Amino acid sequence: MASASKLSTVEKGALLLTSAALAGVLLEAAAFWRGIGRARRYAAAGRRFERRLSARRAAMLILGDSTGVGVGATLPEESIAGLLAADYPDADIVNVAVSGTRVADAIAQVHLCLEAGLHFDLALLHVGGNDVVADTPLHQLTDDCDTLLRELARLAVRTAWLGPPDLGLAPLFPLPYAWVMAARSRVASRVFSAAAARHNVVFVDFSAPSHVAHFRKRRRNHFAIDGFHPNSASYKYGYATTRRMLGLQPQPD
């Protein structure tokens, strides 16, 4: 009888520990999804930079997701599009980026531009992060990438794809979610890089070790207040990296 009582106490203790652990997991999951909701609301308030010029030396397109919009930058002028415009004062800058865009959604952005009869010297593609978060199936992601880049070749002479960073570094994602996002980022970036190579597109892999090392240092200083989007400093870093890879030189005044 004493033995049965002792066993019952052990079982109760184990049940209590299990319940406490489960409650902790549920609380963490709830906090995570609240954070995702805040990031989405923050993105919805973003204002994209665009500058239309009738007399122009070049035509440039910004398309893709919230990083194309410039969500997280203190001012629209501090986004990639704004920094590009500052370096190229005679360029027509068209921005069709929309927060929340995945690779499949960017295809529709390209088609809208084609239907409008637009054509560009350079396109800067910002897409991929939302596919990492949503865990788009890899076979679908591969097909979507090929379709997007094939259609984009009809629209722009030259394209640079600014890939997402290692999202495991984003303060929004606590452990163990950060590990999951880091693994997804690496796998998705391999898909993006391979697609870019097939279509002669410059791929800027911000999930590469050198960039991960940069963002890991004082990582909270590289993200906006929502803990997910880049801030102005990160956009400046991303633009400088892209410009260097493309060999772009600022336009003389």
Beta bridge partners of 159: 123
- pLDDT score, position 56: 83
Query: Which residues are CB-contacts of 75 (< 8 A; sequence separation ≥ 6)?
Result: 82, 232
The closest of 43, 40, 61, 48 to 122, measured between CA atoms, is 61
Task: Please say if the pLDDT value at position 134 is more than 70.
Answer: yes
Q: Over the stretch 212-235, which tens digit does the pLDDT of each residue have? A: 999 998 887 899 999 999 999 999
Q: Do residues 56 and 91 touch, judged by C-beta distance below 8 A?
A: yes
- Which range, of 14-28, 161-175, 222-236, averages the lowest pLDDT? 14-28
Phi, psi of 158 (to 5 degrees): -140, 140
Report the pLDDT averaged over residues 106-133.
98
Q: Over the stretch 118-131, which tens digit does the pLDDT of each residue have? A: 999 999 999 999 99
Task: Please say if the pLDDT value at position 27 is more than 80.
Answer: no
Phi, psi of 19 (to 5 degrees): -65, -40
The CA-based angle 26-30-34, given to 5 degrees, is 170
Tell me whether residue 143 is exposed, middle or buried, using C-beta atoms within 10 angstroms of its C-beta: 0 to 12, 13 to 18, 19 or more. Answer: middle
Query: Which residues are CB-contacts of 224 (< 8 A; sequence separation ≥ 6)?
Result: 42, 71, 72, 230, 231
- pLDDT score, position 246: 96
| Alpha-helix runs per DSSP H in the chain | 2-44, 66-69, 80-87, 103-115, 129-134, 138-152, 177-198, 209-216, 232-246
- pLDDT score, position 218: 82
> Token pair for residue 148?
């997007």
> Token pair for residue 21?
């652990």
How far the first Cα of the chain sits from its last, in Å, is 93
> What pTM, to 2 d.p., does this model score?
0.84
Task: Please give the domain boundaries of the chain with CATH numbers for all domains.
Answer: 46-246 (3.40.50.1110)
- pLDDT score, position 118: 96
Query: Which residues are CB-contacts of 242 (< 8 A; sequence separation ≥ 6)?
Result: 80, 124, 160, 162, 204
Task: Please say if the pLDDT value at position 185 is more than 80.
Answer: yes
Beta bridge partners of 51: 93
